[in-house]
């Protein structure tokens, strides 16, 4: 099994199902987004640049979408912290995926490429 598939399948529920759903939401947003295992992360590339990637918060164990070029956009649900490139959208794996919010953020960040 390749590393990107292992990343998803090795997670425990409900995080596993949430990450797989997020993967689908992301790839359905734009057919030009290419999933790729990059820097030991499941990334989604646009024009050879990181558009976003998925990861799991160490404290909450909630998945998040890290938005590449996130520092170039403003959205009330994005968290920057000390990051210089990305902003995070935290996802509660026990709730419905906020697909419209994700697409709204992706629309904003798409304009930066």
Cβ atoms of residues 52 and 26 within 8 Å: yes
- Range with the lowest mean pLDDT among 42-51, 56-65, 76-85, 102-111? 76-85
DSSP E strand stretches across the chain: 34-38, 41-46, 49-56, 63-67, 87-90
Q: How confident is the model at residue 84 (pLDDT cuts 50, 70, 90)?
A: confident
* Tens digits of residue pLDDT in 88-102: 999 999 999 999 999
| Residue bearing the bigger pLDDT, 82 or 89 | 89
The model carries a pTM of 0.93
| Residue bearing the bigger pLDDT, 83 or 75 | 75
* Residue carrying the six token digits 């292992």: 6
**Structure token pair of residue 32:** 């030009």
Q: For the chain, what is the mean pLDDT?
A: 94
Residue 112 has pLDDT above 90, yes or no: no
Which pLDDT does position 20 carry in this prediction? Answer: 96
Q: Which domains does the chain have, with CATH numbers?
A: 3-110 (3.90.1150.200)
């Amino acid at each position: 099994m390749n590393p990107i598939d292992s990343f998803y399948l090795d997670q425990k529920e409900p995080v596993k199902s949430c990450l797989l759903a997020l993967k689908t939401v992301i790839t359905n947003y734009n057919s030009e987004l290419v999933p790729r295992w990059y820097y030991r992360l499941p990334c989604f590339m646009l024009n050879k640049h990181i558009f976003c990637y998925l990861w799991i918060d160490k404290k909450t164990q909630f998945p998040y979408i890290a938005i590449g070029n996130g520092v170039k956009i403003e959205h009330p649900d994005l968290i920057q912290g000390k990051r210089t490139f990305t902003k995070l959208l935290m996802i509660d794996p026990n709730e419905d995926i906020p697909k419209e919010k994700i697409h709204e953020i992706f629309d904003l960040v798409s304009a930066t490429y």
